[in-house]
Amino acid sequence: MISAMKEIAGTLNNTHVQDWKKNGGHVIGYPCTYVPEEIMHAAKILPFRLRGIGTKNLSIGDTYFGPVICSFPKCVLQLAGESGYSFLDGAIMVNGCDSMRRLDECWRKAGEDYPGTLPGFFHYFGVPHKVTDYSLAWFIDEIKGLIIHIEDHFQIEITKESLHKSIRLFNESRKLLQRLDEIRIRETVPITGEDALCLVIAGFAMPREAYNKALKEIIDEIDKSQDIMDGKKRLMLAGSVNDDPDFVRLIEESGAVVVTDALCYGSKSYVDLTDEDEEPIASLARRYLSHSFCPRMFGCYKQRLGYIRQRIEKARVDGVILQNIRFCDLHGSENGIFERDLEAQGIPCMRMEREYGPLVETGRIRMRIDAFMERIG
């Protein structure tokens, strides 16, 4: 069953998306965990988290973006320009970071040059960088604006009841993934970090009902599986967005298992739940804005350090890999302070800058991981 999830994680227009479209369903892409997926689900639209997998070059991405921009949004734009996202009926742009927020303009302009590559529904979703009563009020208004736009464009009503239902459904996914976390951090570990990442990615790329059902069965299966540790080191992976299972496999091939993480394609996307009893929009706003896991939420370093420490302790890791995509200064710089503070507590860390997209620096990365493994060995 994991292989089916791996297939989904490795394919952009996967079979679930194809089936969804065949049945007349709409799909909306979004790039960041600060977008409440429940809104789209409540509108009977498939939320699909944008990725840049399978890019062969950046000819389109480099045409619109400048030279010193993270390759993640560039890869997304490249795929869009090559009609890789032709299955999208809409896209929501977010100011997750400066590179990401400029995807809004670059995609719109590319859409003028490559007709048909800009989805009919295109929405800018502004997320504040702090948590206060007035930023929460702003965020609530943003959610309401998104709801109105979706309702108008797709001619569908998003009711309170449907939102409550979606909240419960997505919470169920998060609880399942939390259960997977508990299994991963046991003394005997039955699943690789690579496979665990595939399970998380699949959730962002397929209908949630089917996902929860499959995930439950897979977790039950994993729960009974054999230990794979065999003397390997227990690692934590943290930092920039990573939806590349090959990258995790590369790490694990050096004699380690990634048993926990602090990634937005990982624990940061499911560690907290949405309150199911509160008014749904306010509840979603509170959950999505209040989790300050991303360094885009400035001034919350201590909370993030606390989160990482807590996961390190629970998972009893031997070391932490702090990676960032080139030009991702938010994660890259914060990784520097994480390294200082974690090393001071005797937790071995390795900082690594890498490129997003197809693994083109395997040799360099392997060498660095080997050296790190030797250090903690």
Question: Quick one: CA torsion of 359, 364, 370, 373, rounded to 10 degrees?
Answer: -80
Residue among 25, 82, 111, 138 that touches other proteins (CB under 8 A): 138
Q: How far is the CB of 137 from other proteins (least distance, A)?
A: 8
Q: Are 312 and 305 in contact (CB under 8 A)?
A: no
Does 347 interact with other proteins (rule: CB under 8 A)? no
User: In this structure, what token pair is assigned to residue 372?
Assistant: 């790190």
Q: Are 315 and 309 in contact (CB under 8 A)?
A: no
Q: Which is nearer to other proteins, 114 or 138 (CB)?
A: 138
Packing angle, helices 193-203 and 2-10, rounded to 10: 70
Residue among 44, 130, 175, 316 that touches other proteins (CB under 8 A): 130
Q: Which is nearer to other proteins, 246 or 341 (CB)?
A: 341
- The DSSP secondary-structure symbol of 232 reads P
Q: Which is nearer to other proteins, 92 or 106 (CB)?
A: 106
User: In this structure, what token pair is assigned to residue 160?
Assistant: 């309170």
Q: Which is nearer to other proteins, 82 or 339 (CB)?
A: 339
Residue among 35, 61, 324, 354 that touches other proteins (CB under 8 A): 324
Residue among 328, 350, 352, 365 that touches other proteins (CB under 8 A): 328
Q: Map tokens 């998060």 to a residue.
A: 174
Helices (H) and strands (E) in the chain, counts: 16, 8
Residue among 12, 13, 124, 228 that touches other proteins (CB under 8 A): 124
Site string for other proteins, 54-83 (x = CB under 8 A): ---------xxxxxxxx-------------
Site for other proteins in 78-107 (CB under 8 A): 95, 97-99, 101-102, 104-106
The 10 Å CB-count burial string (b at 16+, else e) for 140-160 is bebbeebbebbeebbeeebee
Q: Which is nearer to other proteins, 2 or 118 (CB)?
A: 118
Residue among 36, 61, 119, 128 that touches other proteins (CB under 8 A): 128
Q: Are 89 and 149 in contact (CB under 8 A)?
A: no
Q: Are 198 and 266 in contact (CB under 8 A)?
A: no
Does 342 interact with other proteins (rule: CB under 8 A)? no
Q: Which strands form 121-125's sheet, in the order they lie side by side?
A: 45-49, 26-30, 90-94, 121-125
Q: Which is nearer to other proteins, 254 or 292 (CB)?
A: 292
Does 302 interact with other proteins (rule: CB under 8 A)? yes
Q: Are 48 and 28 in contact (CB under 8 A)?
A: yes
| Candidate segments 17-25, 29-37, 126-134, 251-259, binder of other proteins by CB under 8 A | 126-134
Q: How far apart are the first and last CA of the chain?
A: 34
Does 323 interact with other proteins (rule: CB under 8 A)? no
Does 329 interact with other proteins (rule: CB under 8 A)? yes
* Contact residues: other proteins, CB under 8 A: 63-70, 95, 97-99, 101-102, 104-106, 109, 124, 126, 128-130, 132, 134-135, 138, 141, 295-296, 298-299, 301-302, 324, 326-330, 332-337, 339-340, 351, 353
